[in-house]
């Protein structure tokens, strides 16, 4: 899914659906991996010294940034499933035409 989205993006074609679905799946896979690591390591996983708690915390970020799960689902509901928009654009600085290549993902530095 990621490769398909990237290929579409590189070809200058609309890739919003593929990019959003890939991001959603990756964020969930990452979170489940972090959860499994935390559960496996038990109390030591929670201790800062073993770095598992850092990975656990960081994997949670991908359900929030660079775009939250709620907004991915809102995009897919409207543009893939054809459902009515679930929120208003009036107060948000959002371009109404979403049939654009997805923005390049933000880079998260070491400050996370």
Ligand X SMILES: Cc1cc2nc3c(=O)[nH]c(=O)nc-3n(C[C@H](O)[C@H](O)[C@H](O)COP(=O)(O)OP(=O)(O)OC[C@H]3O[C@@H](n4cnc5c(N)ncnc54)[C@H](O)[C@@H]3O)c2cc1C
Is residue 5 a contact partner of residue 22, using CB atoms and an 8 Å limit? yes
Which residue number, 42 or 66, has a Cβ lying nearer to ligand X?
66
Contact between 45 and 53 under an 8 Å Cβ cutoff? The reply is yes
Tell whether residue 98 is a contact of ligand X (CB under 6 A): no
Contact code string over 31-70 relative to ligand X, x by CB under 6 A: ------------------------------x--xxxxx-x
Question: Contact 96/89 with Cβ under 8 angstroms?
Answer: yes
Based on the shown chain and the rule CB under 6 A, indicate whether residue 87 belongs to the binding site for ligand X: yes
How many residues bind to ligand X according to rule CB under 6 A?
Answer: 14
Residue 8 touches ligand X, criterion: CB under 6 A: no
User: Are the CB atoms for 72 and 20 separated by under 8 Å?
Assistant: yes
Distance CA 31, CA 10 (A): 28
Smallest distance, Å, CB 69 to ligand X? 6
């Amino acid at each position: 899914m990621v490769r398909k989205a990237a290929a579409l993006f590189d070809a200058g074609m609309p890739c919003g659906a593929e990019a959003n679905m890939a991001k959603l799946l990756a964020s969930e896979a990452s979170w489940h991996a972090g959860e499994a690591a935390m559960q496996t390591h038990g109390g030591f996983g929670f201790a800062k010294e073993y770095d598992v708690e850092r990975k656990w915390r960081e994997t949670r970020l991908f359900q929030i940034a660079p775009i939250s799960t709620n907004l991915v689902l809102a995009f897919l509901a409207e543009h893939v499933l054809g459902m009515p928009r679930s929120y208003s654009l009036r107060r948000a600085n959002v371009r109404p035409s979403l049939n654009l290549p997805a923005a390049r993902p933000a880079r998260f530095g070491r400050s996370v």
